Amino acid sequence: MIMKRRIRRALVATGLAGAVALAGCSGGSGTTSGPAASAAASPSASGKVSGDITVLAASSLTETFTTIGKNFEKANPGTKVTFSFGSSSTLATQVNQGAPADVFASADQKTMKLVTDAGNATDPTLFATNTLEIAVPPGNPAKITGLRDFADSSKKTVLCAKQVPCGSAAQQVFTLAKITPKPVSYETDVKAALTKVEQNEADAALVYKTDVSSAGDKVQGVTFPQAQKVINQYPIVALKESRNSAAAAAFVDYVTGPGEQVLQQAGFGAP
């Protein structure tokens, strides 16, 4: 069962005491680097976790998780977080095929279920929500006003592939609006769709509102009413095959604790 908050593990509780005190730390925008997940590390004599973990996370979490990862490392000296960002469906497949990883964070519950149904994780925790927004180039040269522009073949629009969370959400809003989109391409994940707009290769892309925000002045957003009726819920879980289960559990707890401030500042909603 997915819970909005998991019961804190006794093993990790003491280790997170320092994390709460450092919750206000802010990290850089670069991806946290480090070697692949290491052999299981035990809490130190002080109770803090240590060692390396690998986190597979939806591409829409790139900026926020990079910051959260740096904050987590500061709060837990001796830890190192390596991220792999991509489409949730691709990452879920990697987990189920045995890719070495410690934590998985998905952009929707449907994709997370692929991992839990395969027996590779249990009891994911919801930690954020997100909605869609239309991204257009600065100045909106194609005069995009809403979803109906995606049915206009004279305009170059792009969508996420239907099997990934942002693509699935897009299909739902188009169904609600009774619109059949005619995109020039379906992209592998939300960042790929956004890049098309940033590079002026598309007049519009349907992405998450947090991606529009993180792009800064490279794009501008166009809202539409159906967005509030399709809300993506983001779950996170420590994987059963983690080689550093203590640090994996601590990272999940950090995301759902001090990490909430980073997520909300970036525009994510509460779970």
107 and 25 within one domain: yes
Q: Bridge-partner residues for 52, per DSSP?
A: 80
**How large a percentage of the chain has pLDDT more than 70?**
83
104 and 30 within one domain: yes
What distance in Å separates the CA atoms of residue 153 and residue 84, rounded to the nearest whole number?
Answer: 35
Residue count of the chain: 271
Number of domains into which the chain is organized: 2
- List CB contacts of 234: < 8 A, sequence separation 6 or more: 58, 61, 105, 106, 107, 108, 126, 127, 128, 129, 130, 268, 271
Task: Give the full edge-to-edge strand order of the sheet including 103-105.
Answer: 79-86, 51-58, 103-105, 232-238, 125-130
Q: Bridge-partner residues for 125, per DSSP?
A: 3, 236
DSSP category for residue 218: G
The count of other CB atoms within 10 Å of the CB of residue 41 is: 19
> What angle (nearest 5°) sits at the alpha carbon of residue 71, between those of residues 69 and 72?
65
Helices (H), 204-256: 209-214, 245-255
User: Does pLDDT of 270 surpass 60?
Assistant: yes
User: Does pLDDT of 169 surpass 50?
Assistant: yes
- State the CATH number of the domain containing residue 80: 3.40.190.10
User: Strand ranges (DSSP E) for the chain?
Assistant: 51-58, 79-86, 103-105, 125-130, 132-136, 157-160, 185-187, 204-208, 220-222, 232-238
49 in a structural domain: yes
Token readout for 37 is: 């997940």
242 in a structural domain: yes
Looking at residue 47, what is its pLDDT? 57
Whole domain around residue 19: which residue ranges? Answer: 10-129+234-265
Contact (Cβ atoms closer than 8 angstroms) between residue 124 and residue 1:
no
What distance in Å separates the CA atoms of residue 149 and residue 218, rounded to the nearest whole number?
Answer: 21
DSSP-based three-state secondary structure for 236: strand
Task: Give the full edge-to-edge strand order of the sheet including 185-187.
Answer: 185-187, 157-160, 204-208, 132-136, 220-222
Exposure pattern of 9-28 as b/e (b: 16+ CB <10 Å)? beebeebbeebeeeeebebe
5 in a structural domain: no
What distance in Å separates the CA atoms of residue 36 and residue 64, rounded to the nearest whole number?
Answer: 21
Pick from 147, 218, 215: nearest CA to 181: 147
29 in a structural domain: yes
What distance in Å separates the CA atoms of residue 14 and residue 9, rounded to the nearest whole number?
Answer: 9
User: Does pLDDT of 4 surpass 80?
Assistant: no
78 and 60 within one domain: yes
270 in a structural domain: no
User: Does pLDDT of 180 surpass 70?
Assistant: yes
User: Computed from CA positions of residues 27, 264, 251, 120, in that sequence, does the dihedral angle turn out positive or negative?
Assistant: negative
> What angle (nearest 5°) sits at the alpha carbon of residue 171, between those of residues 170 and 175?
120
Q: Has this prediction a pTM greater than 0.85? A: no
- By DSSP bridging, strand 232-238 and strand 103-105 are antiparallel
Looking at residue 59, what is its pLDDT? 97
User: Does pLDDT of 261 surpass 60?
Assistant: yes
260 and 171 within one domain: no
pLDDT band for 48, please (50, 70, 90 cuts): confident
Question: For the chain, how far is it from start to end, CA to CA, in angstroms?
Answer: 15
180 and 49 within one domain: no
185 and 96 within one domain: no
94 and 52 within one domain: yes
238 and 117 within one domain: yes
pLDDT band for 34, please (50, 70, 90 cuts): very low
34 in a structural domain: yes
**How large a percentage of the chain has pLDDT more than 90?**
82
